Amino acid sequence: MSDAFHAGEHDARMQEAQGEKSEPMVVIEQLVKRFGKLEAIRALTMTINAGETFGLIGPNGSGKTTLIRMLVGLTHPTSGTIRILGERVPSAQVAPLLGYMTQASALYLDLTARENMAFFCNIYGLRGPMQRQRIAEMLERVDLADRANDVVGTFSGGMKQRLSLACALVHQPRLALLDEPTVGVDPELRRTFWNYFAQLNREGVTIIVSTHHLDEATRCTRLGLLRFGNLLALDTPQALLQRSAKSDMEEAFLYFAHQEVLA
């Protein structure tokens, strides 16, 4: 991916992010989500700081996608509250500041890469010269500039993931919510994605990313370990390893899951 970006834009976003450092980006308090008798999220309380990459770590069915959908405003909590930038979600003021990459591809396979990006730009209100500029920049960043006019149905799985990421970030969101962005991609592309996430942090973007790849956990600033809708632990990767006296995150996750069973 290209590292090119406008220096003035970068400086402005960094100044904006630094001004937010004293205020949390996301505050979640006693959040509960039930689907019938199933309690998918159980009395969840956590704070996510501006400018960090916060990892939601857990196996399938742990509540990661449900939580992200509530953060975006697509699903309403059964009880509890979510505040983003001080505004209670869902919020018309906050929605344009969010970028959302779904676990399942939201791309139109019969459109070109450029047409897909234009569709998302129109949703976010980007039109005219700014739209063309942002599409060109993001296609370059995800290394798809040479495939801009190709139909997405001809793309590999990894290329679709890259385009999905570009579509989620084309409007320069303050908070990017990425649901399993590296699922089904090869190790090299996974590394590329995580390097890009670190670059976005440096540009002032806050990232919430879900994954069940525990080897990716150490790339996050902090982690929330989820299991059956419960928050097992929340801390930096290094602190979680130290608290569990384990040498890798998989063993640490099993330790905290075992502690929950004993509690």
212-262 pLDDT, tens digit per residue, is 888 889 999 999 999 999 999 999 999 999 999 999 999 999 999 999 877
**Token digits for 129?**
């010269």
CA 179 – CA 111 distance, rounded (Å) = 23
Is the separation of the CB atoms in 113 and 148 below 8 Å?
yes
What is the average pLDDT value for the chain, to the nearest integer? 90
DSSP states of 228-261? TTEEEEEE-HHHHHHHHT-SSHHHHHHHHHHHHH
Tell me phi and psi for residue 6, to 5 degrees: -80, 125
Q: Where in 50-97 does DSSP place strands (E)?
A: 53-57, 79-84, 87-88
CA 49 – CA 92 distance, rounded (Å) = 21
Q: So what's the pLDDT on residue 188?
A: 87
User: Comparing C-alpha atoms, which of 2, 12, 5 is closest to residue 133?
Assistant: 5
User: Comparing C-alpha atoms, which of 123, 119, 122 is closest to residue 107?
Assistant: 119
Sequence length of the chain is 263
Q: So what's the pLDDT on residue 94?
A: 95
Q: To which CATH superfamily is domain 7-262 assigned? A: P-loop containing nucleotide triphosphate hydrolases (3.40.50.300)
Q: So what's the pLDDT on residue 263?
A: 64
Of the listed ranges 50-59, 83-92, 164-173, 186-195, the least confidently predicted one is 186-195
Q: What is the pLDDT of residues 125-183, one digit of tens each?
A: 899 999 999 999 999 989 999 999 999 999 998 899 999 999 999 999 999 999 999 88
The answer to whether residue 65 scores a pLDDT higher than 70 is yes
pLDDT band with cut points at 50, 70 and 90 for residue 10:
very low
Q: So what's the pLDDT on residue 242?
A: 97
The answer to whether residue 59 scores a pLDDT higher than 80 is yes
Q: So what's the pLDDT on residue 262?
A: 73
Q: So what's the pLDDT on residue 6?
A: 38
The answer to whether residue 19 scores a pLDDT higher than 50 is no
pLDDT band with cut points at 50, 70 and 90 for residue 187:
confident
pTM, two decimals, is 0.88
Chain centroid to Cα 212, Å, comes to 13
Q: Where in the chain does DSSP place strands (E)?
A: 24-35, 38-49, 53-57, 79-84, 87-88, 98-101, 175-179, 206-211, 222-227, 230-235
The answer to whether residue 84 scores a pLDDT higher than 80 is yes
Q: So what's the pLDDT on residue 120?
A: 95
The mean pLDDT value for 30-47 works out to 97
CA 93 – CA 242 distance, rounded (Å) = 40
